[in-house]
Amino acid sequence: MYNKKYTIFSALSIIFLYLQICCLLHSVSCHVSELCGNESKSCSHQIFANHSQECWMTYFKREECVRPIIPQKRISSNSNEDYGDVNIGAYLYTEKVFNSVGLNVTFSKIKWKSLRMWFIEEPGTNNKTMPYVCRKFNVYQNISLEDVIFFDCNWLRGHDKEGSIFRFQYEVTDLNGVLSFHDYLFKYPHTNNLELEKRKSAVQSLKKWKLFLIVDISEFRNGILQLKIQVAPSTFNITGYEIDLRRSSTADGDFSSVLKKPIRENSVGSAFLKIKPHTIYKPGIYKYRVKMIHLKCEGEECVTYSPEIFYGPDLQAPVLIAIVGIVLTIPLIIIIAGFFSWRRTWVAKQPGDPHQPTGVLFIYDGSYASHVADIIKFSNYLKEECKLNPLVDIQCIPNTRSKDPMRWLMVEAYQEAQFILVFASPRGLPSTEPHKLHPYTHLKEIAWNIYVTKKFN
């Protein structure tokens, strides 16, 4: 009896794995995960558990999906080894005569207790930041490393979002209870770039094909920009890939090659190719250029570009650093406010462009609730009495289009700041419950590291 059950489970495992690989390789259209409905349900059928709730998927409405703003754990370069593999694959989904693009999120080598994921459209293509497809997976027992959980849903029906930039974000709690945050960037594929047209030759389909590129920006601030490539269909008979990391120093400038790396097709060996280049990143805009190597591909044929990623800042404005204690005494306030008032008056008397409020970036530890309250009061004082422009994360980020702390810090705050105020942390332990309005508890460390690295290196 045991051997019979084992044989049945093995056969089912092979069938599910086959269908999953078929989806990833664009050869069939399928929804075999059975998790695409707007409801919470068991996912135990994917791991063949004996109890229906040993794997459970929780459904969240879009407005209920509370997303973390700053990673709660600094991610190491080998962090994926701590919890397993997470991959996104694009496939052509056919319903009757209508084609669209579906995404397959696959979790393998699972070594985690829970994982919560969501997709969000990047500002610039659409001003809305409400997440799509918010789900949480819980595994209530130690499952085998051979088990695979996948979510293969066509959640963006139609073609209106094709070509838009999306982020796939997830937070995972490993077996030791450690929480980490991960952030991928990709361009939602166009349907006609994934179609294998039977009426045309393989070469014609090859030249129209666009690879699905996913950029892992989780560790970018630590100098790592990983690229994941969903490999091309085997029918193309390509001999390899040419990976080219490019950089532009300005938004309107030309891109130049930073690092090139050819990869032979026979060295890939899986549905995904991972590239983690080791280079020194300078401030600027980066993107990947990937070309499929084939005798019939010339020039810009068979080329796919990743979304552009900003890395910065390049600090060129004069900066004054003031180390300010937590106790904002009256003499200290008078000195700082007096300096800024004098400078505002002096600048206003100078000929030239109309005076713009002086930008002052606040760098402080937001994990002390009382400290945050003092920062808010002091920034309001500088704004109202000294007519300055305090750049305080808790006040500025919610008013940006992206609501992205890193984008605000690198693209806006450091570019507008003429002065930086660095506030010393209070004595004692951080608050057990941080300030209810302040979710950016790690931004001080990031802001300071960016300044020191870019200004003094």
pLDDT, one tens digit per residue, over 187-215 is: 999 888 887 765 567 778 888 899 999 99
Which comes out higher in pLDDT, residue 105 or 394?
Answer: 105
Structure tokens at 369: 């609730």
| Model confidence at 136: pLDDT above 60 | yes
Provide the pLDDT confidence category of residue 431 given band limits of 50, 70 and 90.
low
Judged by average pLDDT, the poorest of 21-25, 102-106, 292-296, 412-416 is: 21-25
Judged by average pLDDT, the poorest of 87-101, 220-234, 281-295, 337-351 is: 337-351
Give first-to-last CA distance, the chain, whole Å: 68
Structure tokens at 135: 């789900």
| Model confidence at 380: pLDDT above 70 | yes
Residues 223 and 78: their CA atoms lie apart, in Å, by 14
| Model confidence at 456: pLDDT above 50 | no
Provide the pLDDT confidence category of residue 126 given band limits of 50, 70 and 90.
very low
Residues 31 and 27: their CA atoms lie apart, in Å, by 13
Which residue shows structure tokens 């900003």? 310
State the chain's mean pLDDT as an integer.
74
Provide the pLDDT confidence category of residue 123 given band limits of 50, 70 and 90.
low
> pLDDT value at position 53?
67
- As a whole number, mean pLDDT of residues 366-393 equals 83
Which comes out higher in pLDDT, residue 83 or 431?
Answer: 83
| Model confidence at 40: pLDDT above 60 | yes
Provide the percentage of residues in the chain whose pLDDT is more than 90: 16
Q: Count other Cβ atoms within 10 Å, centred on residue 286.
A: 23
Burial profile 292-308: b = 16 or more Cβ within 10 angstroms, e = fewer: bebebbeeeebbbbbbb
94, β-bridge pairs: 99
Alpha-carbon torsion (192, 227, 443, 456), positive or negative: negative
- Pick the closest to residue 366 from 306, 436, 311, 309 (CA basis): 436
365 and 427 in contact (C-beta within 8 Å)? no
| Model confidence at 293: pLDDT above 90 | yes
67 and 170 in contact (C-beta within 8 Å)? no
> pLDDT value at position 21?
46
> pLDDT value at position 253?
74
DSSP for 110-164, written as a single string: --EEEEEEEEEEPTTT-S--PPEEEEEEEE-S---TT-EEEEEE--S-SSTTTT-
| Model confidence at 73: pLDDT above 60 | no
Strands 309-311 and 284-293: antiparallel
Burial profile 190-218: b = 16 or more Cβ within 10 angstroms, e = fewer: eeebbbbeeeeeebebbbbbbbbbbbbbb
Q: Count other Cβ atoms within 10 Å, centred on residue 139.
A: 23
| Model confidence at 20: pLDDT above 90 | no
- Pick the closest to residue 413 from 432, 427, 426, 400 (CA basis): 400
Residues 333 and 136: their CA atoms lie apart, in Å, by 48
Helix then strand count (H, E) for the chain reads 10, 21
290 and 303 in contact (C-beta within 8 Å)? yes
Q: Which of 141-155, 223-237, 396-410 has the highest mean pLDDT?
A: 223-237
Which comes out higher in pLDDT, residue 334 or 26?
Answer: 334
309 and 251 in contact (C-beta within 8 Å)? no
Dihedral angle, C-alpha 106, 219, 437, 449, nearest 10 °? 180
149 and 43 in contact (C-beta within 8 Å)? yes
Residues 296 and 109: their CA atoms lie apart, in Å, by 38
> pLDDT value at position 291?
95
pTM assigned to the model: 0.64
Provide the pLDDT confidence category of residue 81 given band limits of 50, 70 and 90.
low
Domain range summary for the chain, segments of one domain joined by +: 2-311, 321-456
210 and 173 in contact (C-beta within 8 Å)? no
Which comes out higher in pLDDT, residue 398 or 213?
Answer: 213
Residues 319 and 419: their CA atoms lie apart, in Å, by 5
Which comes out higher in pLDDT, residue 163 or 443?
Answer: 163
Residues 344 and 41: their CA atoms lie apart, in Å, by 61
> pLDDT value at position 9?
44
> pLDDT value at position 127?
42
Judged by average pLDDT, the poorest of 314-318, 330-334, 375-379, 409-413 is: 314-318
> pLDDT value at position 16?
46
